[in-house]
Structure 1
Amino acid sequence: MDSPREAEFDDIARLAAEVCATPIAVVNLVDTHRQFFKAEVGLGVRETPLETSFCGHAILSEDMMVVNDASKDPRFDGNPLVHSEGGLRFYAGALLKAPGGLPIGTVCVLDTVPRDLDAHQIRTLKLLARQVMTQLELRRSIADQASAVERLSALMELGDRLRPLDTYADMARIAGEIVTRTLRISRAGFGRLSNGFETITIDGDWAIEGQASVAGIHNLDDYGLFSAALNDGRNIILNDVRSDALTKDDTALLEAIDVRSMINVPLVVHGKAIALFFAHDRLPRLWSDSDIDFVRSVADGVQVNMDRLSAQKEQKILNQELSHRLKNTLAMVQAIATQTLRQVTDRQAVEAFTQRIGALSRAHDVLVNQSWSEAIVRDIVVAVLSTFDRMDRFDLVGPNLRIGPRATLSLSLILHELATNAIKYGALSVPEGRVAVEWRVERDETGDILIFSWIERDGPPVVEPSGRGFGSRLINMGLIGTGGVEASYRHSGLMVLMQAKLQQMQQT
């Protein structure tokens, strides 16, 4: 209805007029109160009221209606189109039928004088009616394909935009925006249902300009008889709240928020509806299967992302609890070690042992923030070195790299040993000394290699230690316990270069 003129339909109207030798020919579509002329010859208007039309009677026929002289037909008594001066007398119309058999209009010819059509003209009108339906179905098919592409694109956009969000309200608003825009409706959003379906709490929605948000808590029974359908997990599809059995008895509250049609898709967990995604329109609307499928797909996407968010929140709580228990365990180990080793005269060794346990604790803190799966190299470096209260004397340079949990623990212990030695004997033992900590990735024939360097400068002269203590052995084991370490005891300060395959660092 109300589409612009198109040459294909204009050609059909002209051909109908020529074959039937009539001054008027029309391709029309019938609505509830009017008929719209998709194409016309001899009329000069695009629509007329249905109550005075011939086609209002034609669509009640089987496939063809012929009126030889309307002035003698009781169906048109008092019709101004017939009984006015120069009024219409002859009409012949072949029905346009949708695939399901529903009549939607006619291809018709009219004249101001009584007459008849021969068999050839009648066959031609019927053939032209079939051609109109072919053209309409072609356009609907193209429109359906375009709509399918648009909706697929919308679902892809939904996934991209929901993924980084971390609140239910934001997810509801983004999903509502996409549904509202794609279906060209007035409002959409998400709400959580109470256990007995007494209330719905709408965390967020999206509405077009001029349409109010309905965010907040609502009593479901105030809006219709929805509880039974929700209890069964069924979709609630209302084409017009004024005529649907669920709402027709009292539509005041729905119409107060500009709802004439809606889709409610429940989100079901373990057989029980816990929430629903809704789509509202302020006009009556015959929701198509593709409309319902699209809203269902959006609802599923929202549920997946909300489940993800819930899982992340639960994981965060578990990680915090695990971290708390691990710290308590490490603190107990330190306490036991302190008591067990209190008679040891080499207090330096005892202190080194407890400090190494502390380094492990800080490495676990970094891992907890990434759900124990990985850690960022810079975070590890800062976490370990900041405990020595000399961060202003470290120069940190390196890309944003992530490594696995085992490599995180190894790097933490190595950094602790290097920093401890620098404070005791190296660059950090004098006020002017500094340490450059750098990491980078280089590629060779075997793949990506992580190069990690510790370079001291402006400290006292250093010499290679004569002994092979635990700290030295730990450093020489390298980033993943397989070596790859080069230590240079230069006059300007210690330089340690460590390398390992990046893939192994990230997998261990």
Structure 2
Amino acid sequence: MTAGVGDSVALRERPWTEADRLAALASYAMLDTPTEPAFDEVAQLASRICGTPIAVVNLIGDGRQFFKAEVGLGVRETPLETSFCAKAILEEDFLLVPDATQDARFDCNPLVTGDAGLRFYAGALLKTETGLPIGTLCVLDTRPRQLTALQQDTLRVLARQVMAQLDLRRAVAEQQRTSQRDHFILESATDYAIISMDREGRVTSWNAGAAAILGWDESEMLGQPCDRFFTPEDVAAGVPAREMAAALTTGHGRDERWHLRQGGDRFWANGEMMPLTDDVGRSIGFIKILRDRTEQHLEAKRLEAIEERFQLALEASGFVGAWDWDVASDRVYADASFSRAYGVTVEEGETGLPIARFIDGIHPDDREFVLARIAETLERGGAFAEEYRLVHAAAGECWVLARGLCARDEAGNPTHFNGVAIDITERRKAEIGRAESETRTELALAAVEMGTWETTPELETQVWDARTRELLGHTPDEPIDFETSFMARVHSADRDRVRETIAAALAPSGGLLDIEYRTVDRDGRQRWVHVRGALIAGAARRFVGTVRDISQYKATEEHRALLIAELQHRIKNTMAVVQAIVSQSLRTAITPAAASEAIGNRIAVLAQAHDLLTHTSWTAAPITAIVDGAIRLQGGRSARIRVEGPEIYLSARAALALSMALHELATNATKYGALSRDIGHVAIHWAIEGGGDDRILRMEWRETGGPAVTAPDRPGFGTRLMKSLARDLGGTADLDYAADGVVWRLTSQLRNILETPVG
């Protein structure tokens, strides 16, 4: 077994474990990488400043040390057993060995005991932000020597410069991975237009969905006002501006209206305007999401988005400058570059200024917390490290990392506070860009209620967000395994098809997954989902995708099929009824005009009943609307026509039958019965009797105050119709020609005619 750093000095107490240290080193992915000028220049500069023949940027691994850059050695790696640096990383931040032959830690080291052996070593630690040492920037010589205080400070500064480089590269790599994932997620939907705009409503990005839906491509729309895809009347009414104002005020501005395609064609779309904010919550623009509803309506919910391609700055962070603050006299002495960055002249920095003058160079939003941290450091002494913005940099606002050390006298009073500032603007830009990317992704996913998932191509690991777990039938904390858990929630009828489709997507010739299937959760609830995914190549291949709920879409398809079948059935029945109306009306009419009127009125009643049923997708019609429609031509409810009864919903067949029956009664009452006289009245009453499945509907039409009633010599169309319609009303109907007025009574089993409305 190879000895680790922790074994080199077993008794020395250290605030970290070797496993934590090696994990931190691995996160930078720098072992065994080629040489790079940025690090070579640091080693060369350290050698020149310290006047040593050897200088190394050294990373301490497990049982070995790897030289990212070296001067004077000619090798890239050496064992750890004889390493000076293995002991250096056990120090706080610096190890100085003027003469190794006089140091008990190294006097027996094979690298020292030879005639031309090493005699001098000085190393500044490479430490992460959490204090874990991963290597050193060191200089060596074959003769004893010393370093001046300035040379030692310079080594420390250069070591921090190396760490700044490493931190920047890690942040950039992470953003690239995040951007790649976000890009695929937003491109996994195909029927949404996603448009980002600045605060004035000018287009800043235009996805492929927008090009497909609206007609313009991105190059034609960048910088153009969003007014171009609103209708002229909406632009004149200020609708785009109102949507943006609503987004800023309430967080979203919704609309459902006509929009324009390239060339002037109009399409109906629903959309939402949402604000975009930076990392401190300030508004920087808007995101507009549109969905074409002209033909597909609720059938498609795909979203396709093109995430902005971020331009990452890969240049090394620059050295801003150094300062020395004489606390007692409150004079800050700074070099030329530090002075310029903080907005003072080179001469003022050399002769010294109060600390307040340099504080003025800090961004106003950051000054308060920087002053508070300076006060804390003065009170306790020791190290200072903070990130903040400057406003006087040559390139405008920039971010710096200021590191310093406050020295105190024997009485505990602060004497000197000195340090350096390093430009970390590029690293902060990378972090802010990643946050904005994640924000846009979250907004888009939230707008379409889509879940995301990620797995390895071998399905060994599964990483699902909460929405994906919900859609695929899993609880938030349930372990995910492809065979026993992923597949267990797939509907048994779809399971083989899902397994075959996934296998095909994972095959060398595959790479894309696109499938719709059913899931069943622990409670037996079933839903339809649409899963899409693709392989993303890289150092570690990943299978990334999205899932969305398409249950409503599937239900709509099924309902539409049922409606088509029902419509065909209704058309046949309606034609039969119309045929009977025409035939019987012609048979009983005295004149062609009378026949025309009777036929027209009866077909109008039939159409009116159809209208009622259309509003509930031909599933049910309210009885009150049926009654009101039948007496509409007689003036509706009044002192002469009294209506009373509870609201119930009748089936389509019963609704048509009742409409025809009441129409015939109302027509006869107007021509010959109670409504033919001013003193006549009609009372329409119905009630529900009994309970459970045995409930009965009793309905009565009663006329009073009309002329004396005599039964007709022969039954007319209306009489025959009302008796035959009793069968459609699920019971019996009785027509009584009483002397004081006609009475029609209906008795029906409620379960035969009752229906529940849809929607």
TM-score for the superposition, normalised by structure 2: 0.32
Which one has a bigger Cα radius of gyration?
2
TM-score for the superposition, normalised by structure 1: 0.44
